[in-house]
Structures are given as structure tokens and as C-alpha cells.
């Protein structure tokens, strides 16, 4: 069957080839998270690949929870995973659980025993490890390897019935202890484990291993392409062995791709959980976390994460991506979707001497110059305003393009101001600045063309709202002097809270709204702090360090 779909990476090359050779009549993928933590940005790559293939090949994609390890799994994680996938905008066809197939998986194990392809082994985990051999040496066959089918059937049934203590026996596939691939040296496929399972409760005291349950789950669901990360490449022969021994007519094809790694970014659920459990972060959705829920909390648009995955592409070799690429994608998206607002982080009072006390001059400003449909809102200029203290200098460095003594500057969206005098404290610090506004210097006015050093953001004292700014930095600092351990690389300054900033009212709308605070950064309105002060999370800075490189 000829397909006219253009493949755009090596995985899609395989799929097109399989369709054309008639190996599969359709395309069916799955996303198989283990519900032992929240999804992180690495998972979004796998999501984009699996759901991307579904969309491109008009196929299907299931969400299948790989919940075969009861000690680490939890419904909280199941719920969060579903929420995060929906947030990215993907829809799964079926929601499935490996644990739903515990009966079938057990039956397949019995079938293997009957064929003489599996046996019960009394070795401890340690003994199995010691007899497995090495890359250069074959393993040693277990003395239990040649038990009769009848004995194996009886023992396996008794394992299930709870007759033996945890760890005292396992079921092993009978393959080849001399195989150059260690995964093929009689791998364990079932173990005894008395643990409460989040779905099956205490029904089972034996659980299948991932390498056995996974191919069976794929095959039972009708999955055609089982896409996973590179570390499973060596498991592929076992994957194929299991589907063949179980007798599946249309065995799925496993294809491996390189994991997404981002510099200075923790991408392991186990370690992320440590950060949560130790209280270093406020939770899985802490805005500094590289989890999808953390990024949502931070204000990252889902479209930016998908664009990032598309730009990274699909490769067969592991590499490390710079986090600035993700930030670039976030900035690109927000540039179009986020309204502009004015905020002074460190407010400096400016008195406009030639305005009357009760002056209230309204200016209409465009919400987002990069989005025609964003509309406008009004800002009101009054006698007392605030600018940022960094925008005035008594002792300006060279090339300083803001307000200086005797100088001029434009107030964004309003008039040009000329400096008149400076009020200083005894210690020399600037208390307030006095200026005059220049008549008709607003945009379109007769004096609009007047040359000024720069344009600064401002807020009127009477209208401004006190806000808190949460500024985030990376959780990890660069590895230096051979220090590669995460614990030693944790950044003690990953959060700075700035109080006393002043924002125009426009920014305090509904929680979740995103803004470009002009000349500062992109921020998300994140609701109110305990004392009722509006708080904003810094999503990403304005500076585009990626393009410069
Ligand atoms: P972790 O090591 O963080 O626990 P995992 O691989 O064990 O990750 P799973 O829940 O098993 O997590 O992953 C679900 C799917 O997401 C798997 O198919 C896995 O290959 C994929 N995945 C996980 N991490 C990444 C990553 N960094 N890049 C690409 N795909 C990933
Ligand atoms: Mg895993």
C-alpha cells in the first residue's frame, strides 16, 4: 500500500516502510508512563512523537499506565499525568493500565511454562546477579532450569497462591545463559511481592516484570509501533522473543529514539521526587520544576513546549539541549499572546511640577503591538507618578539612555518629561525627582518628534497597585570543579521575591493571565499572597540569549 505521507524523521521512515510493505494495516502508538511521579519536559518529547504520529498517520494513540511496580505508584500521579497530557492538547484513544492485564499476563506466563520456555527458579536476587555473567563471560545455568513442566506449573501456581515468601522464588524465561545480550540470559519475568497495588489492591502477590508485561500489553492493545527511549535498545531482542513466544500474529515493532536531555535540568522522576520530599521546592508544580505542571504554574504556554520539541527533533544519538532554546520558544509564543503592561520594580517618585494636583490625563495604549486583535486600554497620567529607580541617574555611566539631571525622557504611551530638580536624603540617596512635561509631545502631537534619550515605563501613584514579583532562576547551577552531583549543584538562589513593586491595575486581572512587563520580563499573574498582595511569577526574561549565540 503506497502512502503519500512524507516522513520527517527516522521513526516515520520505519512507519512508512511498514505501511508500504503491508506489515501493518494502520498505525497505532501508545504513551506508557509509569505512574510514579509527575511528567517532566522529557516526557513531552515522547508525547509529541507518539501523538504526533497519531495525527500525521490518522492513527490512534493510547495512554497506557505501566503500573507493574506497586511499591512506587499512586493515583495522585495517574491524575496528574492525565491533566498534563490534556494541557499539552493531546487526546488519547483509550486509557489503559498494564494492571488490567494481570490475568492475561499470568496466562501467557503459564503458556510459556507449558512450552518449556519458562521455569521457576529458587535463586535469590543476589544469586541471579552473581550467575548472570559479564559482557565477556557467559552466565551459569541455574540448577532449577530443568525442572519439569508439571513442577513448574505447580510452583508458579503456588507462588500466585501466596505459599512462598517475597523474593524466595521467581519465574524466569528460559532463553540462553550464553547470549551475548545479558538481557537474554534467562531474565526474571515474575517475582513475588506482597505490596498493595493502587488498582488491584491485594489480589496479587506476584507481579510481572516490565520486560514481560510491556510487549504483552502492546500486542494485546493492537499497538503497531512501540516507541521508547534508547536505553531499551538492548531489550528489543527480549521484546521480540516475548511476543513471538506468546504467539501474537501481528507483533508490534519497537523503535528507540534518544531521550531529551537539557543542560542543568533534572530529568528523572526519582530525583524530582527527592526535591519535593525534602521541601527544597514547594511541590511537583513548583514554578522552578521542569515538570509539565511546574511549567504550567510558571506560565509556559503549551504551544511553546511543543514548538521546542519540534525544533529539537528526533534523533538516534543522545545529546544535550541548551535550556535557552526552550526559553526562546516561550518568548516567541508570549510575544504574540501576552499583553504589555507597565510595572516599576523599584519605584522612584516623580512629581510633574507643571500638572495641577487633580490632573488625570488619559492615554490609550495598544495591549499588544504584535497582535492586531489584542485591543487597547487606558493609562492615566497624574501629577505624581513612579518610574523605575534604575531609569534615573545622578551619575550616569557612558551611553546611559534614560533620565539624567537636566535631561529628557519619554513616558511610554504619554508625554516627554524634562528633569527640573532632584530631592535627596541626607545620605545622598534620591527621594524624588521633579520634572515638567512637554506640551503636545504625546504621539501624534506637534512636539512628538522631539529627540529624547529613551522611553521608560511608569505608573501613576494614585492608581498603581503594590505587587510582589517572583523571580526564578535554574534549580541547578553549572557543574564546576568536577562537582556533578545534583545535591551539590542545587542553586540556593533559584527564587528571589521582590516586594514593593508597583503595577498598573490592568495587570491584575484574572489569575493565569500572562504579560510582558515592558523592559522587564514576561510575567504571569499568579493570584494573591497571604496578605492579599497580587503576585506575579517571572516566566522568562526578555533577553534573547539563544539568538545571540
Ligand atoms: P524517569 O527516568 O524520569 O522516571 P521514565 O523513562 O522512567 O523516566 P516513564 O514514565 O517510564 O518514565 O516514561 C514514559 C515514556 O516517556 C517512556 O516511553 C519514556 O521513554 C519517555 N521518556 C521519559 N523520559 C524521557 C526523556 N527525557 N526524553 C524522551 N522521552 C522520555
Ligand atoms: Mg520508567
Q: pLDDT tens digits for 503-515? A: 999 999 999 999 9
Tell me, in angstroms, the distance from the centre of ligand 2 to residue 33's CA.
7
Complete DSSP assignment for 292-323: HHHHHHHT--HHHHHHHHHHH---SS-EEE-H
Kindly state the cell numbers that stand for 157.
501456581
Q: Is the CB of 230 under 6 A from ligand 1?
A: no
* CB distance 315 to 309 below 8 Å: no
State mean pLDDT over 324-340.
97
Q: 235 lies in a domain? A: yes
pLDDT at 401 over 70: yes
Measuring CA to CA, how many Å separate 524 from each of 305, 401, 469? 17, 28, 10
* CB distance 393 to 348 below 8 Å: no
pLDDT of 6 reads 94
Tell me, in angstroms, the distance from the centre of ligand 2 to residue 65's CA.
11
Q: Which residue has the cell 500474529?
A: 249
Based on the domain organization, do 87 and 115 belong to the same domain?
A: no
Complete DSSP assignment for 178-240: T-SSGGGSS-EEEEE----BTTTBTS-SEEE-HHHHHHHHHHHHT-SEEEEEGGGGGGHHHHH
From the list 349, 258, 287, 353, the residue with the least C-alpha distance to 536 is 287
Q: 334 lies in a domain? A: no
pLDDT at 149 over 80: yes
From the list 284, 287, 290, 298, the residue with the least C-alpha distance to 260 is 290
State mean pLDDT over 96-103.
94
Q: 335 lies in a domain? A: no
* CB distance 264 to 323 below 8 Å: yes
Nearest Cα residue to atom 25 of ligand 1: 42
Q: What percent of the chain has pLDDT above 70?
A: 98
Q: pLDDT tens digits for 347-360? A: 999 999 999 999 99
- Which residue, of 435, 463, 491, is where some domain finishes? 463
Helix, strand, or coil (residue 287): coil
Domain region containing 409:
343-463
- Which residue, of 180, 208, 236, is where some domain finishes? 208
pLDDT of 543 reads 85
Query: Which of 482 and 467 is assigned the larger pLDDT?
Result: 467
Based on the domain organization, do 355 and 455 belong to the same domain?
A: yes
From the list 138, 220, 232, the residue with the least C-alpha distance to 185 is 138
pLDDT at 544 over 80: no
Q: 378 lies in a domain? A: yes
State mean pLDDT over 179-205.
96
Identify the sign of the CA torsion 527, 532, 366, 391. Answer: negative
Q: Is the CB of 214 under 6 A from ligand 1?
A: no
Nearest Cα residue to atom 14 of ligand 1: 33
List of residues 6+ apart from 521 with CB closer than 8 A: 471, 538, 539, 540, 541, 542
pLDDT at 119 over 70: yes
Based on the domain organization, do 527 and 385 belong to the same domain?
A: no
Based on the domain organization, do 170 and 195 belong to the same domain?
A: yes
Kindly state the cell numbers that stand for 505.
491595575
- Which residue, of 463, 496, 519, is where some domain finishes? 463
Q: 182 lies in a domain? A: yes
Q: What ligand 1 atom has the least distance to the C-alpha of 32?
A: 14
Based on the domain organization, do 374 and 396 belong to the same domain?
A: yes
* CB distance 1 to 27 below 8 Å: no
Q: What ligand 1 atom has the least distance to the C-alpha of 261?
A: 27
Report which bound ligand comes closest to the CA of 29: 1
Q: Is the CB of 347 under 6 A from ligand 1?
A: no
State mean pLDDT over 360-384.
96
pLDDT at 343 over 50: yes
Nearest Cα residue to atom 26 of ligand 1: 42
State how many domains the chain has: 4
Q: pLDDT tens digits for 35-71? A: 999 999 999 999 999 999 999 999 999 999 999 888 8
Q: Which CATH number do you get for residue 117?
A: 3.90.800.10
pLDDT at 549 over 50: no
The neighbour count for residue 357, using CB atoms within 10 Å, is 7
pLDDT at 362 over 60: yes
pLDDT at 475 over 80: yes
> Looking at the chain, how many residues does it have?
549
Report residue 318's pLDDT band, with 50, 70 and 90 as the boundaries.
confident
Q: 328 lies in a domain? A: no
pTM, to two decimals: 0.93
Q: Is the CB of 293 under 6 A from ligand 1?
A: no
CA 3 – CA 388 distance, rounded (Å): 60
Q: Is the CB of 273 under 6 A from ligand 1?
A: no
Largest alpha-carbon pair distance within the chain? 102
Lowest-pLDDT range of 89-103, 177-191, 481-495, 498-512: 481-495
Q: Which CATH number do you get for residue 238?
A: 3.40.50.620
Q: 47 lies in a domain? A: yes
Q: 417 lies in a domain? A: yes
Based on the domain organization, do 232 and 87 belong to the same domain?
A: yes
Burial of 110-137, coded b for 16+ CB within 10 Å and e otherwise, reads bebbeeebbbbbebeeeebeebbeeeee
Based on the domain organization, do 86 and 221 belong to the same domain?
A: yes
Q: pLDDT tens digits for 259-303? A: 999 999 999 999 999 999 999 999 999 999 999 999 999 999 999
Report residue 545's pLDDT band, with 50, 70 and 90 as the boundaries.
low
Which residues are known to be catalytic?
Answer: 34, 259, 269
Q: Is the CB of 42 under 6 A from ligand 1?
A: yes
CA 306 – CA 304 distance, rounded (Å): 5
Element (H, E) at 110: helix 102-114
Based on the domain organization, do 87 and 218 belong to the same domain?
A: yes
Tell me, in angstroms, the distance from the centre of ligand 2 to residue 309's CA.
20
Tell me, in angstroms, the distance from the centre of ligand 1 to residue 474's CA.
21
CA 392 – CA 261 distance, rounded (Å): 43
Q: What ligand 1 atom has the least distance to the C-alpha of 259?
A: 28
Q: Which residue has the cell 534615573?
A: 392
* CB distance 364 to 377 below 8 Å: yes
Measuring CA to CA, how many Å separate 438 from each of 385, 403, 445, 455? 16, 14, 10, 14
Amino acid at each position: 500500500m503506497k502512502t503519500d505521507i512524507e516522513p520527517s524523521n527516522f521513526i516515520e521512515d520505519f512507519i512508512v516502510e511498514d505501511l508500504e510493505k503491508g506489515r501493518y494495516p494502520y498505525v497505532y502508538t501508545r504513551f506508557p508512563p509509569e505512574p510514579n511521579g509527575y511528567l517532566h519536559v522529557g516526557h513531552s518529547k515522547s508525547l509529541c512523537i507518539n501523538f504526533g504520529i497519531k495525527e500525521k498517520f490518522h492513527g490512534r494513540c493510547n495512554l497506557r499506565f505501566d503500573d507493574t511496580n506497586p511499591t512506587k505508584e499512586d493515583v495522585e500521579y495517574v491524575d496528574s499525568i492525565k491533566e498534563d497530557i490534556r494541557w499539552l492538547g493531546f487526546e488519547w484513544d483509550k486509557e489503559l493500565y498494564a494492571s488490567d492485564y494481570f490475568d492475561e499476563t499470568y496466562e501467557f506466563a503459564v503458556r510459556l511454562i507449558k512450552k518449556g520456555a519458562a521455569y521457576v527458579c529458587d535463586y535469590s536476587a543476589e544469586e541471579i546477579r552473581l550467575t548472570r555473567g559479564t559482557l565477556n563471560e557467559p552466565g551459569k545455568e541455574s540448577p532449577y532450569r530443568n525442572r519439569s513442566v508439571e513442577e513448574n506449573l505447580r510452583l508458579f501456581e503456588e507462588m500466585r497462591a501466596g505459599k512462598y515468601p517475597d523474593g524466595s522464588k521467581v519465574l524466569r524465561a528460559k532463553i540462553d545463559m550464553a547470549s551475548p545480550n545479558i538481557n537474554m540470559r534467562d531474565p526474571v519475568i515474575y517475582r513475588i511481592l506482597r505490596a498493595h497495588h493502587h488498582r488491584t489492591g491485594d489480589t496479587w502477590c506476584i507481579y510481572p516484570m516490565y520486560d514481560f508485561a510491556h510487549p504483552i500489553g502492546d500486542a494485546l492493545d493492537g499497538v503497531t509501533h512501540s516507541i521508547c527511549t534508547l536505553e531499551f535498545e538492548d531489550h528489543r531482542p527480549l521484546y521480540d522473543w516475548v511476543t513471538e513466544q506468546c504467539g501474537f500474529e501481528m507483533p508490534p515493532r519497537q523503535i528507540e529514539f534518544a531521550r531529551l536531555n537539557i543542560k542543568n535540568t533534572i530529568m528523572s522522576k526519582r530525583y524530582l521526587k527527592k526535591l519535593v520530599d525534602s521541601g527544597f521546592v514547594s511541590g511537583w508544580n513548583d514554578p522552578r520544576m521542569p515538570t509539565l505542571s511546574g511549567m504550567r504554574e510558571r506560565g509556559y504556554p503549551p504551544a511553546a513546549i511543543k514548538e521546542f520539541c519540534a525544533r529539537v527533533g528526533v534523533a538516534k544519538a543522545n545529546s544535550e539541549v541548551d535550556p535557552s532554546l526552550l526559553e526562546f520558544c516561550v518568548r516567541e509564543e508570549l510575544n504574540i499572546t501576552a499583553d504589555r503592561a507597565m510595572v516599576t520594580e523599584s519605584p522612584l517618585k516623580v512629581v510633574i511640577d507643571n500638572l495641577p494636583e487633580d490632573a488625570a490625563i488619559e492615554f490609550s495604549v495598544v495591549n499588544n503591538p504584535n497582535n492586531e486583535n489584542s485591543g487597547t486600554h487606558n493609562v492615566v497620567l497624574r501629577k505624581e507618578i513612579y518610574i523605575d529607580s534604575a531609569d534615573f541617574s545622578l551619575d550616569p555611566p557612558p551611553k546611559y539612555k534614560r533620565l539624567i539631571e537636566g535631561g529628557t525622557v519619554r513616558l511610554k504611551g504619554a508625554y516627554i518629561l524634562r528633569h527640573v530638580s532632584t530631592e535627596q536624603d541626607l545620605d545622598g540617596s534620591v527621594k524624588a525627582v521633579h520634572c515638567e512635561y512637554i506640551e503636545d509631545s504625546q504621539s501624534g502631537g506637534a512636539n512628538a518628534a522631539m529627540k529624547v534619550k529613551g522611553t521608560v515605563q511608569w505608573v501613576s501613584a494614585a492608581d498603581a497597585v503594590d505587587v510582589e514579583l517572583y523571580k526564578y532562576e535554574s534549580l541547578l547551577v553549572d557543574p564546576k570543579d568536577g562537582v556533578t552531583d545534583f545535591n551539590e549543584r542545587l542553586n540556593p538562589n533559584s527564587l528571589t521575591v521582590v516586594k514593593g513593586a508597583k503595577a498598573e491595575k490592568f495587570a491584575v486581572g484574572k489569575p493565569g493571565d500572562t504579560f510582558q512587563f515592558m523592559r522587564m520580563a514576561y510575567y504571569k499573574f499568579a493570584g494573591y499572597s497571604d496578605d492579599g498582595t497580587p503576585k506575579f511569577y517571572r516566566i522568562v526574561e526578555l533577553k534573547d540569549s539563544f539568538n545571540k549565540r
